[in-house]
């Protein structure tokens, strides 16, 4: 019973329903070894919301997209098998410019639809990787670019000129 002088508040409108489900986002802190279970839980939640299998390619600031990931990515894709759709959660500050095409073509061998989810950053090689997807999903903090192609091939090094 309400106290004398206090009126019971009656809501004048019902709370708005979200137009789309909330997608759990991952933070750098959640990728530490101590939080592995929480990370797996977030990935499972994301798979449930998106109804797709999820792969995570989250690189620390000092790491770059490189050819070294191809074999482990192939192993992961082989384990999950052919899927209707695959989501790749991507965080990267860039890397080798030749590798994104290799990763996109590999992932596309295992799915009909390929989406890249960018919660924060996908620079340079990460932007190129995202451009190979059917769909790019970004949070309000998600950023693509800049693309700064530095190719370290024998041909590229012979054609470089100094100013």
Residue ranges per domain, the chain? 35-148
pLDDT over 70 (residue 131) = yes
Residue 90 CA to residue 144 CA, distance in Å, equals 11
CATH class label, 35-148: alpha beta
Residue 98 CA to residue 120 CA, distance in Å, equals 23
CB neighbours of residue 150 within 10 Å: 11
pTM for this entry? 0.71
Closest C-alpha among 140, 53, 147, 47 to residue 100: 147
Tell me which of 23 and 108 has the higher pLDDT. 108
pLDDT over 60 (residue 137) = yes
Q: What is the mean pLDDT of residues 102-112?
A: 97
pLDDT of the residue at 4: 55
Confidence bin at 112 (pLDDT 50/70/90): very high
Q: What is the mean pLDDT of residues 16-34?
A: 46
């Amino acid at each position: 019973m309400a106290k004398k002088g206090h009126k019971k508040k009656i809501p004048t409108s019902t709370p708005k329903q979200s137009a789309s489900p909330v997608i759990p986002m991952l933070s750098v802190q959640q990728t530490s070894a101590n939080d592995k279970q929480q990370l797996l839980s977030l990935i499972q939640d994301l798979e449930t919301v998106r109804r797709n299998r999820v792969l995570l390619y989250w690189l620390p600031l000092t790491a770059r997209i490189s050819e070294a990931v191809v074999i482990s990515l192939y192993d992961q894709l082989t384990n999950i098998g052919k899927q209707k759709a695959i989501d790749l959660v991507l965080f990267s500050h860039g890397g080798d410019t030749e590798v994104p095409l290799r990763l996109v073509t590999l992932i596309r061998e295992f799915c009909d639809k390929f989406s890249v989810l960018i919660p924060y950053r996908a620079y340079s090689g990460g932007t190129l990787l995202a451009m190979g997807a059917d769909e790019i999903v970004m949070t309000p903090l998600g950023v693509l670019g800049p693309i700064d192609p530095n190719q370290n091939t024998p041909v590229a090094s012979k054609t470089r000129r100094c100013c």
